[in-house]
Amino acid sequence: MATAIGIWSEVIKPGTPLVLTPAADLRLCNVSLGETLADPTGRTVVKVTHMSPVVPAEDEEEVDDEDDDLPDMKQCEIILCALTPGKIEQTLVDLVLQEEQEVLIEVIGKNEIHFVGNYIEQPVPFNSGDDEESDDEMNSEDEHDLRFVSSDVEVDPEDLESDVSRFEEMDDGEAAASKSLKRPRASDVMDTDEAPKSKAEKKLKGADGKAVEKKADAEKITAAADSKVDGKDKKSKKDKKKEKQEAKAAEPAALVEREVTGGLKIKDVKIGSGPKAVKGKTVGMRYIGKLTNGQQFDANTKGKPFTFHLGKGEVIRGWDEGIAGMQVGGERILTIPPAMGYGKRGTDGIPGNSTLVFEVKLLSLK
């Protein structure tokens, strides 16, 4: 069964066909008339034009060709639905548009048409034998590890490992379980007749890094360290308090929520690194979508990241404008007003006039 990984919507007006090349497999779910009708009685037809492979006739002779593996293609037109005000104003559909396969959607009539769908992740075909075993290993160890997400901007895996974010915390339980199943190092399980040395018997090191053999020398170093603490290097509580205040004052203004045109509110929780996301770039995202009452309606926190072309109208306007300016590794909280989300009508799981709250993280930028 396919898994929904992102919401898609579009408005198509008569005389302005949409040429669509999905960045991932896209399922069209609902087609409806617009809020305002240009023709209150007229019928409006939705037509989809796509390319389909030609199936040869049974009696047709096969011709050897170097390109036999590539089937001949032909242009096909289908009528997706027909809507009439007062009779049928919306209809559910189940049409999957394949990734990177170009289609043309056009409206015949006088009324504009609203489309709603979602990007999907198709199930991986079953593999037997060694492939199954290797797939199980990959799923058990790497499924929740964000360090292995590809990116055009190089990021040190050490930096990603130390980045404990809202998204990575979701899989802490699974990570702890996998660590407990790892075999201990051979040096940890080797049998030995020697009793462990006590702290007093272990060699001490001085400030220069050299080992201190004698107990008397160790005592001298300890005394010198104590005198240093009691002298100029010892910080008073007042000094420590002052340092904390200065550090707090030096915190970046990124943590302050700001409001931009249209009522969109943006709060940078973490600043990333590298080039910024601008219109036309392909971005790979993790996200959690909630209503203002805390109810979660959508999320992408593991598996294949949600990708789209920024500023091309493939997502809601709040995302197109709210993701702009982020850097890889950056995290934001977007508070999106209804006019920049799903408006008065809403969509599956989202009531009309809903303000949306998205926690987003930029994983890749191309």
Give the start-to-end residue ranges of the domains of the chain: 3-51+72-121, 258-365
Which two tokens mark 88?
């049928």
Q: Give residue 3's pLDDT.
A: 78
Residue range 323-339, pLDDT digits in tens: 999 999 999 999 999 99
Residue 126 annotated to the active site:
no
Has domain 258-365 been given CATH number 3.10.50.40?
Answer: yes
Whether 316 is a known active-site residue: answer yes
- The answer to whether the CB of 309 falls within 8 A of the CB of 277 is no
Q: Determine the average pLDDT of the residues in 189-202.
A: 46
Q: Position 249: which residue type? A: A
pLDDT value at residue 336: 96
* Contact criterion met (CB below 8 Å) for 366 and 152: yes
Q: Which of 115, 119, 287, 306 is catalytic?
A: 287
Q: Which of 316, 323, 336, 350 is catalytic?
A: 316
3-state secondary structure of 298: strand
- Annotated active-site residue 148? The verdict is no
Q: What is the pLDDT of residue 304?
A: 94
Residue 130: the pLDDT is: 47
Asked if pLDDT for residue 184 goes beyond 50, the answer is no
Q: What is the CATH number of domain 3-51+72-121?
A: 2.60.120.340
Q: Convert the pLDDT of each residue in 132-162 to its tens digit.
A: 444 444 444 444 444 444 444 444 545 444 4
Q: How far apart are the first and last CA of the chain?
A: 29
Query: Which two tokens mark 140?
Result: 């058990």
User: Does 119 participate in catalysis according to the annotation?
Assistant: no
% of the chain beyond a pLDDT of 70: 61
SS3 state at 289: strand
pLDDT at 137: 44
Q: What is the DSSP letter of 7?
A: E
Residue 109, CA atoms < 13 Å, CB-side half-sphere: 23
Quote the pLDDT of residue 216. 53
Question: Given 298, 306, 308, 323, which residue is catalytic?
Answer: 298
Same fold, 3-51+72-121 and 258-365: no
Q: What percent of the chain has pLDDT over 90?
A: 42
**Active-site pick, 5, 167, 342, 350:** 342
Tell me if residue 230 is catalytic: no
Total residues belonging to the chain = 366
